[in-house]
Every structure is written in structure tokens, then in C-alpha cells.
Chains A and B, each alone.
Chain A
Amino acid sequence: MNRTEHLLKRAAFALTTIFVAVTTNFFLFRVLPGDAVTNMARVPHASPQLKHALTAEFGLDKSKWEQYLIYLRNLCHGDMGISFAHRQPVRELLIADLMNTVPMVLAGTVAAIVAGVFSGVISAWRRASVADHLSTNLAIFAYALPSQWLGLVLLILFAGVLPSGGMMNEFLFEPAPFWQHLGDIGTHAILPVGTLMLTAYGGYTLVVRSSMLEILGEDYVLTARAKGLPARRIVWRHAVRNAMLPMVTLIALDLGYIVGGAVLIEVLFSWPGIGLAMYTAVSQRDYPMLQGGFLILTVAVILLNFLADLVYARLDPRIQR
């Protein structure tokens, strides 16, 4: 199979997956009893006409299939619909949320990758040493911690030192100067980013360690040692680069979730991102918001997996054969 064929095959697979996910998401939310109108019509002296008017306004009076076709048609035009709860275009709301989510989760994930690679490499290089035991056990411990629990512990530990919620000091009438604003967001991001980093780094450590141990046993590493190359160069220039293949998959998967947001962390620290928006939309039965949020998450995960496939094929051409 040549490269173009491989690419086309993967692209077709990705598009099919997106279509299936869009369809599943649409029907999944509607399987549950109740909808947004049930809550909105709970007002004193509400007449049956109000309920009917709301149902018609949201298009919920049409059959599920009709709603589905309208949804697909609008989606093809880039229209994600109007939020039931906020009566604003879903696309605008989600883009704003996404802009808040990406920097926070990206910072946490990058920090976790750096810490995970570093500790994994040290563990593998110093195998069976105190450093290895310490690093591996810490990684397993961190990996096992539920993010919401760890976040809560950090919240209590750093109470009074770091902001416990929100993305910035929201109480300023005038916008702060750039550096002050940046510092403000930075301080608010420390706890969510730290929580994310601590819960994710363990996985990277364990994968890198295992992959590195395999690579360090290869002949070319022995050759490099025999040639008298410095240890640091053997590890970082030869072994680590070859141990990165499983990391590519892991990173691609994790980066997909950057777009989906770390729901629990965003909820705990009231970080106004896409994860928090979806969490709120679930309780409000805001179908357009839910569909939009899950669509973005689905597309992001599939695209990043697609990219991982491409990178993988480039790193190891045997995959295309």
C-alpha cells in the first residue's frame, strides 16, 4: 500500500467515525426522559400553551428523524444551532469556552509530558536504583489518584496562597495592563494546571520507562557504549528518540482531550472552559450545546489520532506495509 492509499484509507475511516459519533450523540441525549422545556415551563401560572410554544421554538415538536435531518443540514452549513438555555449561537459560546480550555489543558499536558519523559528516562537509565523505585512508585501513586480528589487536596493545601476558582480577578472595572493580566491568569491557572500535570505525568513516566528499558537493551545502544559515547548522549540522542513511538499515541490521545477539557478539573476550579460548559449543559438538557461540545471533542480526538497515524507512519515506515 502506498502512502496516498494509506492516507485516504485513514481519512475515510476518520470521516466515518465522525459521522457515527454525530449520529450517536444526537440520539443518545434524546433517549433520556425529560428535556429543556420540562424545566423552563416550571413557572407559576404557566399555561399549557407556554409549554407548546417552547417545544415548537426549540423544534422538539418534530419527529426525531426530522430533527436529525435538520441538525445534519445545519451542521453542513457550519451552524451548530442556538443554545436552549442561553438563546445564543452554540458555535460562539463553544469557541469562547475553547479559548479558555486550550491554554490551561495544554499547559498541564505539556508539563506532564516533560515531567513524565524526564522521570521515565531516569527510571530506565537507573533501573533498580533508589531513584527508579522512588520515581516508579510516585508515578503509580499519581496515576492512581482521581483528579477531583487531588484537586480538592491542593485546593485545601494552597488556600489563601493561590486563587481557588475562576480564571482571573473578575472584579476589575477597567481591564488590567497586559503583564498584570497575564500574571493574574497565571496565578489562577496554577492549581488546575498542577492538578492536571500531577494526574497525567504518572502515565507518561510508566510508558517511557518501559519503552526505554526495551530500547536500552538494543544492539545499537551497546554499540554506542562500545564507541565510548557519553551516557547522556546515548540516552537523549539515541535511546529516547526511539522510545518515543508509544508516547506519540499516548500524547495524541491526551491532546484530543485538551479540546474536550478536563471536565472534573474545570468544574472543581470553576475554570470557564468547554468541559464545564458541557457539564452545565447536561443538567439543563441543552441539546444543541451538548451536541456541539461532543462534536468538537469527537473531531479533535479523531483528527489527532489521524495525525498520530501519520506521524507514526513517518517515524516507522513498516506500519504502511
Chain B
Amino acid sequence: MRLRRTFAPCPARSRGPSRLRRSGVAVAVVMALCFSAACDSAATRNVFRLGGTEPIDSMNPFVAVNSSSYSVFENIYPSLVQVDPALKTVPDFAGSWQMSPDGKTWTFHTKPGAKWSDGEPLTAADAAWTFETVIKHQEGPTGSLAGYVAYMESATAPDPNTLVLKYSRPVANVLAQMSGIQILPEHIWARYAVGNGKGLLTFTNPAPVVSGGPFTLVKYAQGRIALLKRNPRYYGPAPHIDGLGLQFFDTDDAMITALKSGRLDGVQSVAPTSVATLKAAGLIVASAAGAAFDDLIVNANPKQAADHRELVNPLVREAFDRAIDRNAIVKTALLGFGRPGASIIPPSTGHWSDPTIKPTPYDPAAANRFLDEAGYRMGPNKIRIANGHPMSYTVIMPASITNGYGARSFQIIQAGFKKIGVQLVPKHMDVSAANEALFAKKYQSFEAAMWGFSLTTDPDGMLSYLTCRSRYSLNDTGYCTKSWDGLYAKQATAMNPAVRQRIVYQMQQAAAREHLYLVLDYPDSIEAHSPSWTDLPMIEGGSFSATSKIPFQTVHRVG
């Protein structure tokens, strides 16, 4: 029966859609396509459409990790202070501030009459509540923001326009910390901070978000878009644009194509390989010395495993440093968009970077001499023998490095090391696995790694990464000494900038002397935008800043 049905003649062909109907559908589709394009461009004319490749991971400041999330928070929430294009700390929600003579009390005078986007008053009490909440739950739900309130004991608002922050000891970088943390509306968030504060992590903070910055977040779709609209109740100068949209792309190619075809007005970051194409397309490519460096980490733990203990030998570390052709890295891997690396505090941080620390020159002959002096003779296959084993080392390569120009840099380093009889073998891993590999067996098992840091202008963050406290989080060298921790604590409480600068220099020299990081390069921050827009300054490595509202307040269409 079933077989018969398979072969049975078909019923008479039913009448399909008439030609008229088919034409109608076709016209409708074409009109929809054309209409959509025309209307879209009109509706978004004064909206700056920005493309990025790092998506927002959460709209909740207690959950978010990615820097793009913090840039959105900076543009929708008030901060006490912000950073201007000259890297100076300037007023934001706080118009002025004073420090007590002992450096332990800071008083901020906030702008009177400010309102949140829902019309509720925005006062110093919101700031006090935010900081108190972070302090209260810093070992748990608010732990990701704990660094911004380090040594803060209390935050109070004696009146609606005064905020008093009390610290257990003088803290040198209070203003830098305050430019990185945003103030949340107490009337929205307080209900989630009850009990153990775990509610703070479950609140998704959905759009429309009650905002106090120059923009309000009106639309957010996970991994796709954050759309910000000008906030008419903002306490500061109104932006020239109606809105700011941040669309996320998973590949650079798609993002760059969207920029070239006019579907975006700007992109957050540009690979050096795309610069020529963008310039040829008539786009404005802006680059600035970035507050970042790439490095080769050679295990600095004195207690490391016996089969690579020679790595702590200063002569070996010196030899490795001289085997790196930094100029070739800048020329070939960065295509000229960067500078050879030297100190762990990049020159873009201004007076914090020690100018006496120069990039180590590429000198394989000297490197060979150092290894000979150390007694590591050349073995078979032109690989030296140290303590009875070949000097062949595994280099942990996290995906965040190899996805960019890192793979090209590594090839140059590998070739340089080959010339001194040292073999480097890359081991590709994702970021979590790379971290675990570094921390394994109390930092005793890894040999080398290639990674990098993005920093802020204030040096405190970078210097803290080499402290014992940062082991198993941001300390990726295994380094831990009392002297470093002592200097770190000293600079952190040095309220006189000149004194602090001296200590910071001293720390940089110690790091360079001990080759804690073999700093490869300082890559430039590169952005691009359409020539239809102007006045979009880059601050601390980008215009979509996590510490300044200024770029998207000043940007406007040309003419």
C-alpha cells in the first residue's frame, strides 16, 4: 500500500501564487530592503556608531570583567573625577576636592542639583552608598571592584553635596582610583545589597538603565549592541551627538568592512595590518602611544623545578634579554605602530616612566658570551646544555596573544634565541588554561610565557602585579620578595608626587635589573573613524574610555 502510494500518480497540480501576487511580494521585499536602508541612515545620522570586538559581558558593574563594559559604565554613570586628554585628573561629578594633612581623609564636593535620568536626585549619598557597599562585600560579591577602595574605611555624605572618604593609611593614588569607579543609583541598587549582598550579582541591570552620565543606556542585547541616548538630565556639558551605539563583531574583517562601507562611524581598535587599507579608503586612522606592553616572562621563582633552575641565573636572563630583536618586532610584527619595550611602566604614562631605562639592544654575540660564562656549552643540534639538560623551553602562548600580532613576534624571538643555542617551543592555550599553567605547583613548573598588560596612567596597578599578594591572580612571574612589597607599600603611601616618583623609578630599575619581564614592545593604540566626524580624542589608549567622558562629549559631525 505504501509502496503503491509512492508510485501513485500525483494529484492535479495546485495553482500556485498568481504572477501578480508573486510580483507584489517581490516588489514588497525590494521596497523593504531599500526603505530600510534609507530610513536607517536618516534615523541614525547624529548617532555615533562604534564597532568593537570585545563584547560587553554584563551590564552589572559587580559582574562585568571586560573593559568595554567599563567604558559603557563610564558614559552612563557619574564618576567623582575623570582623566582629560593631557592625562590630568579633572572634575566630573565632584567639582573640587581636598585631602587632609595626614592624607587619610578626602573630601569631595559634588555638583548640586544633579538628577538621575528618572528624575530622582543624584547626590553625594549615592556615592557614599556605592563605596560603602563595595567595602562591605569586597571579599565576595563586590570583589572585582575591591581594588578601587583599597584601604578605604568608610564613605559618608554629611550633606547632599559633600562626600568624605576615610582611609586606614595615606593612599597616593586616590584620584586615579576614583576615575575608574562609577557611582550607582542607590534607589535602584539598594534592594539588591541586603544580607550577604549576593543579590548584587543576580541583578541584570536591564535597559533602560537609570543613568546619571551624559548618556542613558536605552538598548542592550547580549554580545550585539549597547545603544546609548543623550541624557537630558546630565549635570555636565551636553554631548553634541544624539546617541552612541556600540556594536560588537566577532571578527576584525567584518568590523573593518562595516566601517569602510559606512555602516559604522568608527572602530575601537585596528590591527596594524588594516591601517593601510583604511587610510586608502579615506578613513581617519588615529594612533597613540598605548599604556600597554607585551612581554616574555621567564620564570622568576627562585624555587622552580630542577629541570629549569638555570632560569633564575642573572646571566641567563641577561642573555635572553639580549637575544630579542625588539626593532624587528616593532618593524615586522607591529608594522611600525609601536616602540621597542624597556621599562614595565610605559612612556605613555608620562612622568611615571623612568627615562633612564632603555630598550636592551639586540646583541646575540654578547648573549652567547654570557651563556658561555655561565658554563652552558653548546650541545648537539646546536642547543646548549645546562645542568645536564638541553636549554629547550616551553613558552605558554595564551590565545589573547596569538590571535593578534603575537605569533609574528614569537617567530622573531624564537629566531633570536636559536642564534644563542636556546630552543623555544610554543604551547598554545586559552587564557584560563594559560593562567593555570603559570600557577601550577606554586609557580615551579612553567618555564616561559608570552603575554602583556594594558595599564592605566597611574603606576600602582602594574607595580602591584609583582607583589606576593597578587600571586595566583595577576602575578604571572612567580616573583615574590619582601623588598618589592616594601617598596610597593612605600610608593602607595607617598603623598608627595616627587617622592613617589623616585620610589616608582627605583622599582622599575629593580624590575629591569632582575629581568622580571623581558618587555618586548609598547604597541600603539590604533583607532579609525569616518572623516565626517571630528574632535574625538584618545585618552589612556582609546576614545571609548573607561576613565573619561570627554571624547563622546566633544565628538561632533564636521561642519
Contact = CB atoms under 8 A, between A and B. Distances in A.
B254 A183 contact: no
A25 interface: no
A173 to B, nearest CB: 6
Contacts of A238: 7
Contact of A172 (B40, B140, B262): B40
B227 A173 contact: yes
A165 B39 contact: no
A39 B138 CA distance: 17
Nearest to B251: A268
Q: Majority SS of interface residues in chain A?
A: helix
Interface in A183-229: 183-184, 186-187, 220
Contact of A180 (B32, B221, B225, B248): B32
Interface in A79-133: 85-88, 93, 96
Interface string B452-490: 000000000100110001101110000000000000000
Contacts of B36: 169, 176, 180-181, 183-184, 187
Interface in B11-39: 28-29, 31-37, 39
A47 B140 CA distance: 10
Interface in B387-434: 399, 430-434
Interface string A45-66: 1111111011001000000000
B480 to A, nearest CB: 14
Interface residues on A, range: 35 or more
Nearest to A159: B257
Contacts, number: 233
B437 A86 contact: no
Contacts of A241: 6
Given A50-B139, A53-B143, A87-B60, A34 B432 contact: yes
A5 interface: no
B2 interface: yes
A23 interface: no
Contact of B40 (A184, A237, A242, A284): A184
B500 interface: no
A155 B253 CA distance: 8
B58 A180 contact: no
Interface stretch (B144-152, B286-294, B511-519): B144-152
B204 interface: yes
A276 interface: yes
Given A51-B472, A165-B249, A155 B436 contact: no
B509 to A, nearest CB: 23
B254 A164 contact: yes
B150 A45 contact: yes
Interface stretch (B43-51, B346-354, B369-377): B43-51
Nearest to B40: A169
Interface residues of B, number: 83
A246 B148 CA distance: 63
B223 interface: yes
Most central of B40, B143, B204, B227 by chain A CB within 10 Å: B143
A268 B251 CA distance: 6
Contacts of A268: 250-251, 253-254
B436 A33 contact: yes
Interface in B230-253: 243, 245, 247-251, 253
B250 A242 contact: no
Given A167-B224, A179-B32, A173 B249 contact: no
A47 B39 CA distance: 52
Contact of A183 (B32, B245, B440): B32
A120 B255 CA distance: 37
Interface of A: 32-36, 38-51, 53-54, 57, 85-88, 93, 96, 152, 155-156, 159-161, 163-167, 169-174, 176, 179-184, 186-187, 220, 237-238, 241-242, 266-270, 272, 276-277, 279-280, 282-285, 314-315, 317
20 contacts: A33-B433, A38-B436, A47-B138, A50-B139, A53-B141, A57-B198, A87-B58, A87-B60, A165-B255, A170-B221, A171-B40, A171-B44, A180-B35, A180-B39, A183-B31, A186-B29, A266-B250, A270-B224, A282-B430, A283-B399
The 4 A-B pairs at the shortest CB distance, nearest first, are namely A183-B32, A34-B432, A50-B143, A44-B147
Interface of B: 2-3, 6-7, 9-10, 28-29, 31-37, 39-40, 43-44, 47, 49, 55, 57-58, 60, 63, 65, 138-141, 143-144, 146-147, 150, 198, 201-202, 204, 218-219, 221-225, 227, 229, 243, 245, 247-251, 253-255, 257-258, 260-263, 399, 430-437, 440, 461, 464-465, 469-470, 472-474
Given A180-B36, A270-B254, 7 more contacts: A43-B147, A44-B470, A160-B260, A163-B263, A170-B227, A173-B219, A280-B223
